[in-house]
Chain A
Amino acid sequence: MQQSPQTYTMLDLAQLQSEFQSYLIGHKNSTTFTTRIINDAKVGVNRRLAIYFDAYRLRIIEALATAYPKLKALLGDDLFNRIAREYIDDFPSTYQNMRWVGGNMREHLLYSIPEHPIAAEMAVFEWSLSLAFDAEDVAELRLQDLAEIPLEHWNALQLKFQPAIQIVRLRWNIIPIWKALDADEAPPALLQDSIYTSWLIWRRDFSSQFRSMGEMEAIALHMAMTGATFEEVCESLEGQEAETTAEEAMTIAAQYMAGWLQCGMIVSFTLLN
């Protein structure tokens, strides 16, 4: 132990922590702090620090594997671990809660393995499931609440949706692959479609749910979730798919709304003046 305690200052502590952290993140050149670690014959300073260096990575790799179990299964352990290690280097955690550490995986995959574009889509889907899983709790709107609105007021109807809702657009057969892996079955061959399909993710009874949406429903839901009134949603559907008329658009929009309500996706409404 040092014999002159009065020489240790807060500046020393701050410098130690900055350098220790740089070492953990991987900036191995800045390791003057290693002289502040007691060296010993039994273990030695390098092995002692390597315990921390490895633990930092292993802990986050485990968190990423928990957030992306199907991505890991799809890529295999070796490739996933390599990707995860690169991810840790590129995106040092700024989160107090490890739950959020994996939020940049999609963009990481897009440039780290551009030859496997399906990986980024799987990451998007899994992350969206997790966002739905622990999104804020809200009470569902009941059918009778909407039924009480006079028909002439429907055009001014604006809906509020549960925070768990996520919409992802996928071009690969992510869903059959995800389902097969979830059932411990061999996944189907990878297939890329010529068009993107919108997938709706929401939460019911504490479980994340998902289903595909046609383009018209995706447009209607996007409009409704961004504050459009029922009238505006109907207008956006007019002229879509085989020249939908105003009357048809209204029927279709009402059907969509009934479906969202039945799924528990709608939490409240406002009638705009």
Chain B
Amino acid sequence: MNTPKVSSAKTNPQLSNLGFGLGLRTQHYNSILETKPNIDWLEVISENYMVPGGKPLHFLDRIRAEYPVVMHGVSLSIGSTTAFDKDYLRDLRKLVDRVEPAWISDHLCWTGVHGQNMHDLLPLPYTEETAKHVAERVGIVQDYLGRRILLENVSSYASYVDSTMTEWEFISLICEKADCLLLLDVNNIYVSSYNHQFDAKAFIDGVPTNRVQQIHLAGHHNHGDYIIDTHDAPVIDPVWDLYRHALSRFGSVSTMIERDDQIPELDELVQELQIARDITADYLSVSGKNELPKSDATVSSNLHHA
């Protein structure tokens, strides 16, 4: 195991900080390889590369040779009450072996039951029993993959009368029970806080500092009465403010911007990522900490957390 070059402050020292990344999108394959832009790492949607072969895996291999990569899944369905899809887990592990990602994440949600997939990140009721169930399944996945995974808080549009705790209490309980890590999506916190009228800062203040391994930032679409998490626009100022708040609690954390629709030229996203770099630099200079990740960080791909 190689020692990570950068550690995040106020967190478990075994966690590493990759710096500032972007979600890898097919439109940017060539620009990334040709221009080697100022991106520290890339996140790939696991399912897009769980195919037999061809161009997607070819580009993934080439980009992986140049950048640290993390894998982000959308179909694990960790909260389902029916059994895991064994083929999916097998294919996921095969991809992990190929990519050797710094870490693997999926969403704290369910996506379908009885062998069907709704291809959506559906909300769970926040109860003790649900947390116990999810934690058990996280344990199965972590044992199967031989490493800890990250769970991401999702944007939600409905909540349940049966919930007995807040979302952040629910997440904290699962992290504790399953000994897993957190991918904190600051935009999703904003979206859900708007949709369910809770205090977004209370969410950030309510999750354990030593579990946050990665932060997502993204844009969304505000319909007035509610917000839809569309990932088709730049990050808005209130979300940047929340990001500042997150930094003040978690210290510098591996941060990336997700764009899944209306995808602009790579330069535009690299520039947007600079805002995250600047905010982090400001935080670090004010807080007197000296742990800014290098922009050309060459962090090992073998950052074991298991």
Contact = CB atoms under 8 A, between A and B. Distances in A.
A21 B112 contact: yes
Contact of A16 (B119, B125, B128, B164): B125
Contacts of B281: none
Interface range for A: 35 or more
A73 B164 CA distance: 50
B231 to A, nearest CB: 12
B75 A97 contact: yes
Contacts of B48: 99
25 contacts: A1-B164, A2-B161, A5-B164, A13-B130, A13-B133, A14-B113, A16-B125, A16-B162, A17-B82, A21-B114, A24-B118, A37-B159, A37-B160, A45-B158, A48-B226, A51-B228, A52-B120, A52-B157, A63-B119, A93-B112, A93-B117, A96-B50, A133-B55, A164-B54, A203-B54
A60 B87 CA distance: 22
A271 interface: no
A52 B158 contact: yes
Among A25, A38, A51, A97, the one with the most B-chain Cβ atoms within 10 Å of its Cβ is A97
Interface residues of B, number: 50
Interface in B108-141: 110, 112-120, 122, 124-125, 127-130, 133
A60 B52 contact: no
Given A1-B161, A2-B162, A93 B113 contact: no
A21 B112 CA distance: 7
Nearest to B113: A17
A96 B161 contact: no
Interface stretch (A75-83, A134-142, A165-173, A223-231): A134-142
A2 B163 CA distance: 7
Given A10-B129, A24-B118, A136-B52, 4 more contacts: A13-B127, A48-B158, A135-B54, A138-B53
Given A12-B162, A42-B225, A137-B57, A52 B127 contact: no
Contacts of A49: 158
Contacts of A133: 54-55
B161 A93 contact: no
A206 B159 contact: no
Interface string A161-181: 001100000000000000000
Given A5-B164, A10-B129, A206 B58 contact: yes
A35 B160 CA distance: 9
B8 to A, nearest CB: 32
B143 interface: no
B81 interface: yes
Contacts of B125: 8, 13, 16, 36
A92 interface: yes
Interface in A39-65: 42-43, 45, 47-49, 51-52, 55-56, 59-60, 63
B88 interface: yes
A20 interface: yes
Nearest to B130: A13
B117 A51 contact: no
A147 to B, nearest CB: 28
Nearest to B75: A96
B268 interface: no
A134 B56 contact: yes
A46 B18 CA distance: 42
